[in-house]
Amino acid sequence: MKMTPQRWLAAIAIGVAVGFLVYFMFPLIVVSAVSATVASLVTIGVYRYLDSNKKPEAPPKADPRKQLRELFDGLVSLNILVREEGLHTAVLARVEGIIDKLRALLPEINERYPSHELTWTLNQMAKEYLPKAMRPYVALGRQDREDRRAELLKSLDGLEAEIDNVAELVRGDKMGDFKAKAAFLRARFVQGL
């Protein structure tokens, strides 16, 4: 609903034209001035009404390959980070296993069910949840990592189990279970990030 300078000029021009027309019909300056003002305001109102009825343009569709590449790039960055930090072998193995499973599942689910809620949720798990679970752990000192390793492994176990469940749903083509699983995963992993 932005009034551009061209629209302001058009509204004023219409008002002035109506004012002159009224002045020639009734040679009263007050009547023509009021008519010009009313015509300008009506024109502005029409512009605003037309703008409010325009349907917003749909955002350009994102390239699915580009989105998938961004997800993979994020997973590779996370993998490099956990390797460089010299994490315990159990943590490293679990994170790499999850990344491998996501790497195998993400292309399939994004290709077969691109606009499904479960696809979005799984993408968020790869993009947001796994990095947000790992980065604070990586930032800890050695002793704090040791103290929290069991807690992290338990969290990663839950994540890996859910990825396995989603893989089973996708490969078994059990679309009826998708919606319930998507709602569960969103509540468990994605919301509150």
**33: buried, middle or exposed (CB in 10 Å: 19+, 13-18, 0-12)?**
middle
pLDDT tops 50 at residue 132: yes
94 and 179 both lie in a single domain: yes
- Give domain status of residue 48, yes or no: yes
Whether residue 102 sits in one domain with residue 45: no
Confidence of residue 51 (pLDDT cuts 50, 70, 90): confident
Q: Are 111 and 181 found together in one domain?
A: yes
b vs e for 160-179, b when ≥16 Cβ sit within 10 Å of the residue's Cβ? bebbeebbebbeeeeeeebe
Per the structure, the complete domain to which residue 27 belongs is given by 5-53
Residues 100 and 180 in one domain: yes
Shared domain for 21 and 112, answered yes or no, is: no
CB–CB of 163/181 below 8 Å?
A: no
Confidence of residue 1 (pLDDT cuts 50, 70, 90): very low
Are 40 and 81 within one domain?
no
9 located within any domain: yes
Answer yes or no: is pLDDT of 24 > 80.
no
On whether residue 90 sits in a domain, the answer given is yes
Q: Are residues 49 and 72 in the same domain?
A: no
pLDDT in tens, 71-121: 999 999 999 999 998 889 999 999 999 999 999 999 998 888 888 877 888
CA dihedral (25, 29, 33, 35) in degrees, to 10, reads -30
As a whole number, mean pLDDT of residues 36-59 equals 71
In this prediction, residue 184 carries a pLDDT of 63
pTM: 0.61
pLDDT of residue 121: 81
Residues 78 and 151 in one domain: yes
Whether residue 94 lies inside any domain: the answer is: yes
How many structural domains is the chain composed of? Answer: 2
- Is residue 59 included in any domain, yes or no? no
Q: Do both 39 and 94 map to the same domain?
A: no
Domain shared by 69 and 142, yes or no: yes
Whole-number pLDDT of residue 25: 77
Task: Indicate whether 26 belongs to any domain.
Answer: yes
Handedness of CA 11, 13, 14, 19 (dihedral sign): positive
